[in-house]
Amino acid sequence: MSGLEIERKFLVKGEGYKQQAYGQSHIKQGYISSSHGRTVRVRIRDERGYLTIKGPSENGGLSRYEFEKEITLDEAEQLMKLCEPGIIDKTRYLVKSGKHTFEVDEFFGENEGLVIAEVELGAEDESYEKPDFIGQEVTGDSRYYNSHLRKNPYSNWKSEMR
């Protein structure tokens, strides 16, 4: 898959998303490079590997170029050894809302307690139905980018959010 990624990102209220989820998977990901808004990410999702390259964010963090290719699990495990320090560990829940699917990420480790939902859109002005667990929008807030959570985990700054 490659092309323009358009998504909105939100904090999540409560745990209602777990009962509404139609699927879930465990994700571990690391970053070979994460500077100047460009990232090269290695991901292991359940037993499958992926290599993803993302360009810098545009329009306040709403869109960016993304290239993703499935790789073998062995390749992903070997590439994880090349990653910068700090691995993201999370469970992703898939929740249908209208014609969209919200991806809800519950983080572990140093990002424990953080739950973020994302919805991918076909256009920046596309409308969507918000599920009841959707909280404050954080689209464009770099603190919530996975590549930043790796360097500055939620545990370092969550007390500032209260």
Q: What is the mean pLDDT of residues 110-125?
A: 96
The closest alpha carbon to 4, from 56, 40, 42, belongs to 56
| Confidence class for position 73, pLDDT limits 50, 70, 90 | very high
In the residue annotation, 31 being an active-site residue is answered as: yes
Mean of per-residue pLDDT scores for the chain: 94
Cα 140 to Cα 120: distance, rounded to the nearest angstrom:
14
31, 50, 93, 154: the catalytic one is 31
- Is the distance from CB of 96 to CB of 26 less than 8 angstroms? no
Res 60 pLDDT > 80: no
| Confidence class for position 62, pLDDT limits 50, 70, 90 | confident
- Is the distance from CB of 72 to CB of 49 less than 8 angstroms? yes
- Is the distance from CB of 91 to CB of 78 less than 8 angstroms? no
Distance of CA 99 to the CA centre of its chain: 20
The bridge status of strand 2-12 relative to strand 88-97 is unpaired
How high is the pLDDT of residue 1? 56
Res 162 pLDDT > 70: no
How high is the pLDDT of residue 135? 97
pLDDT above 90 covers what percent of the chain?
84
| Confidence class for position 3, pLDDT limits 50, 70, 90 | confident
pLDDT above 70 covers what percent of the chain?
98
Q: Counting beta carbons within 10 angstroms of the beta carbon of residue 59, is it exposed (0 to 12), middle (13 to 18) or buried (19 or more)? A: exposed
Q: What is the mean pLDDT of residues 148-153?
A: 94
